[in-house]
Amino acid sequence: MTQWTDAQMEIFTHAYQQEITDSRLAHRVVPEFPMPASARSVASDVFDYESGAVDDVTQIPLEERQELFRLTRAQAEDSDLTSAQVIVRRAAQRLSRGDDERVFRTGIRDAIEEGKGKDNYQKVAQVERVSDVADNLTGEGLVAATAGAVFALDTDGYRSGYAMVAGPLLYRLLHTRAIGAADLPIVAVRGLMGDGPVHRCTVLPEDEALVLSVGAGRIDRAVAVAAVAEFLRNEPADGALDELRLWRLYERYITRFKETRSAVLLRLQPQPEGEKK
C-alpha cells in the first residue's frame, strides 16, 4: 500500500463521507442509534400493540455491508488523488443506495406488506387515480390518501415527526398540477404532515410511498460502524505488470422498525384493464 500523508487521507476520507451525505436518503429521515464498534447484534425492541410489551430480549444481528474498489499504483500515488476520489465516491454511491434499500424497502415497506391484516401494522392505503379535465393523471389522489394516513397515525398516538418518501411515479404526481388547480398536490400533502418533508425515493416501487412518524426512536438505524474505507491487499492486474490496490468501503448496522404502526404504505390503484395500452 502506498503511504499517504495525513492531508491526502483527509482528502480521500472527505470525498466518500461527503458523497454518502449527499447520496443517502436514510440518514436524513431515520435517526441513528449509536452502538459500540465491537457490537454484532442489538435488541429488536419491537413493541407489541396487543400485549403492550417491548421485546428487548430478542437479539437481531447487525449487517456488515461492503463495496469493493480498486486503485492502480498511479492512482494511489497521485498527489491530488483525483481519480481515487472519483472511484471511492462511486463506491459510496453504491453503498448509499444499498442502505436506502435496506431501510425503506426491506426494513419498512416489505415488513408492512408481509404484515398486512395483522393488528401490529397499518392497513395499506390506496391512492385513488384522479385525472383532470384533460384526462391527465394528477396527484390529487395522494392528498386524500395522505390525509387518511395521517389520521391513522394520529389515532395510534403518532402525532409528530411526519415525513414522506415517495417512489418515482408518485413523486412526479405530487408535482403535477391539475388543470385549473391553484397549487401543486405537494403543497397540500406537506400541510397535512405539519410541513414535514417529502423525499423522492428510487428504491421504492414507483407507485408506492411511505408516510412515516419517525420521532422518539420509533424507527432507527442501530449503527456500530459508520462507513469507513479500509485497504485490504495488493492484487495482480490482468495483462499488466502493476498491482492493483484492493480497498473496501464498509459499515455495520441494522434497521429497527420498532413501532410498526408508525408507518403507512400508500399504493396507487392499478390502472383498469380496459384503459391499459
Phi, psi of 113 (to 5 degrees): -60, -45
Q: Which residues have CB under 8 Å from 209's CB, separation 6+?
A: 127, 142, 164, 165, 166, 167, 170, 171, 201, 265, 266
Q: What fold, for 6-113+225-256?
A: Major capsid protein gp5 fold (3.30.2400)
Residue count (the chain): 277
Q: How far apart are CA 143 and CA 188, in angstroms?
A: 6
- Residue 180, exposed/middle/buried by CB under 10 A (0-12, 13-18, 19+)? exposed
Q: How far apart are CA 59 and CA 37, in angstroms?
A: 17
Where do the structural domains in the chain lie, given as residue ranges? Answer: 6-113+225-256, 119-215+262-275
Assign 3-state DSSP to the chain and report helix, strand, coil percentages, each to 5. Answer: 35, 30, 35
- Residues 108, 111, 112, 113, Cα dihedral to 10°: 120
Q: What fold, for 119-215+262-275?
A: hypothetical protein PF0899 fold (3.30.2320)
In this prediction the pTM is: 0.92
Output the tens digit of pLDDT for each of the chain's 277 residues: 668 999 999 999 999 999 999 999 999 999 999 999 999 999 999 999 999 999 999 999 999 999 999 999 999 999 999 999 999 999 999 999 999 999 999 999 999 999 988 899 999 999 999 988 778 899 999 999 999 999 999 999 999 999 999 999 999 999 988 887 789 999 999 999 999 999 999 999 999 999 999 988 899 999 999 999 999 998 887 655 578 999 999 999 999 999 999 999 999 999 877 665 4
